[in-house]
A and B are shown apart, each in its own frame.
Chain A
Amino acid sequence: MTTHTTTPAATGTGEGGTVLEATGVTMRFGGLTAVKSVDLTVNSGEIVGLIGPNGAGKTTFFNCLTGLYVPTEGRVAYRGTVLPSRSHLVTQAGIARTFQNIRLFPNMTVLENVLVGRHTRTREGLLAALLRGPRFKKAEAESEARAMELLEFTGLAGKRDHLARNLPYGEQRKLEIARALASDPGLLLLDEPTAGMNPQETLATQELVFAVRDQGIAVLVIEHDMRFIFNLCDRVAVLVQGEKLLEGTPEVVQRDERVIAAYLGTPPEEVAAASRPGGAEDGPGAADGAPATTAERPTGTPDPGARNDTGGHGPAGTEGGEKA
């Protein structure tokens, strides 16, 4: 059930085709539906954005893609094969990610962090490490060379022996990207890569993401910085209250009233009214979505609260679960 906007993009890319295909992904935590029947396709060579107000379920959706959560319903396929439900196997399959709140290994050096990222692409086991034969040394040297390449790529080569926790914030973010790239992924998931960055750093990150894309890695990015998203992405999907409201090119999304409403809030009647015509464009899932979920959510305040619900309802809603 892909939306019509994805079809031209898929045929547009010459090689590879679909990298990620999520169909009907639903995630429930007890009575709370954090993600509801979301479809998303990422094609080779694409940068796809995922936006939505706080608590919309973006990070939960990411966690479903990376095996941290097993979706209650739905299917996630990477290059045509259904993903295993265990995180380390997902990474091995070729999906790497960064985190909303930085999660480097603080007491390891910059180089060691990247080497850990290479874990799935290296093989030597316990015995080889103890015997330290020529094969082991060669493999270690190769890993290190690749890690250094990535540090050059992200501009951190000069800091290889610094402890990760001592890096400035912007460089920690870069290091997360380098570490994620170390697993030679086909798809990179970035969870708010520019959160807390100044405009220059944001611009540098943008260049970095383009460079990653040019290496043939598809990118799916969550971000609140709209300028960043609209500059960067070939396609943007909007998630509101766990459902995909809309998907399209940055121009289409930027102009859509419902997106603006979702971020700034509108009276409940208007939300309901606004989402109805959307059904033609986005399939039945999104059509009756917004009002229905408002009623279902046990934590949401009843009628007047629906308005806040689309805005910052974080802690009571899905965001709490995302941090896990």
Chain B
Amino acid sequence: MHDLPQQLANGLILGAMYGLIAIGYTMVYGIVQLINFAHGEIFMIGGFGALTAWLLLPSGTSIALALPLMLLLGMACSVLVGMGAERFAYRPLRGGPRLAPLITAIGLSIALQQAIWAFYPDAKKARPFPQFGGDPIDLGAFSIQRGELFLITAAPLCMIVLALFVSKSRTGRAMQATSQDPDTAKLMGINTDRIIVTAFAIGAAFAAIAAIAHGLKYGQVDFKMGFIAGLKAFTAAVLGGIGNIYGAMIGGLVLGFTEAMATAYIEYIPGMELFGGGAWKDVWAFVLLILVLLLRPQGLLGERVTDRA
């Protein structure tokens, strides 16, 4: 088991990213019981928004200086697309059969992917994302990339802000109320349409932050990046118990650790030599999902709800 601290650190970073994206799935599901399959593309668009901000700045700007602006534009793009999707694609279908918004979400996902492919300059192949230069920071037992520092600070901050917001603020309480009983919430004077759009916006903003972290980590963004990241984050949300924001973060971490451990150590298990390494990490992620669904279908933190399936 060499390099265990390093693998744990890798898992943590990966998991924090999945968790951030998973928030968007879980918040939307918690309130309108919709799996927003376009969320992966909202994530991807956040990445391209940030890249645009970088390209608009004069060349030679330091990335640390550019980062706030990249965040702002990335989040703005994601939030705009997320809110637009809610307003124009999902809201007209609310109250209709459950399958209609789900299919719409899948359609929207493909449409957004293709829109970036077709209209973003040079997006037919991956575009390089700005990088923090310099050597990895050596922390003794393990080291982390400079770009990963962004995620390590942003993810816990986001989670704390979100937890405070949901449990303590007026809008957060209205959000809880809407998720527990939308009709009654309306009669308590809550504009549920506004609450739903807020949930989409928060999810999109977090996805944009994750996208920037993704770009900084892998050094590129491309139009397909939302698909697998979205699928993983959805897995994380289900793992944690969909509808539960703390579950999303924990599900993300569990998934991240699983992938890191599987990548590094499976090949050392006798008879499993073939199944180790990076190529199999997605397989192990989904094996974990299947196991959780079999053993604890409501997810790690989810409550067993019989009347909502």
Q: What residues of chain A have their CB less than 8 Å away from a CB belonging to chain B?
A: 66-68, 86-88, 90-92, 96-97, 99, 103-108, 112, 115-117, 119-120, 122, 124-126, 129-130, 132, 140, 143, 179, 183
Contact = CB atoms under 8 A, between A and B. Distances in A.
B184 A103 contact: yes
Contact of A117 (B169, B181, B183, B188): B188
Of B170, B171, B180, B187, most A-chain CB atoms within 10 Å: B187
26 contacts: A67-B186, A68-B183, A88-B186, A88-B191, A90-B187, A91-B188, A99-B184, A103-B184, A105-B181, A107-B176, A108-B173, A112-B173, A115-B173, A116-B176, A116-B177, A116-B190, A119-B170, A119-B173, A124-B169, A125-B171, A126-B171, A129-B169, A130-B161, A140-B170, A179-B188, A183-B188
A242 B174 CA distance: 35
A91 B192 CA distance: 13
A68 B187 contact: yes
A129 B202 CA distance: 14
Nearest to B303: A107
A47 to B, nearest CB: 21
A210 to B, nearest CB: 24
Interface of B: 161, 164-165, 168-174, 176-177, 180-181, 183-192, 198
A66 B187 contact: yes
Given A88-B186, A119-B190, A129 B165 contact: yes
A66 B174 CA distance: 19
A140 to B, nearest CB: 8
Nearest to B167: A112
Given A108-B180, A126-B198, A130-B165, A91 B173 contact: no
B180 A106 contact: yes
Nearest to B202: A126
A87 B185 CA distance: 9
A162 to B, nearest CB: 16
Contact of B176 (A68, A97, A105): A105
A116 B188 contact: yes
Contacts of A96: 187
A143 B161 CA distance: 21
Contacts of A126: 165, 169, 171, 198
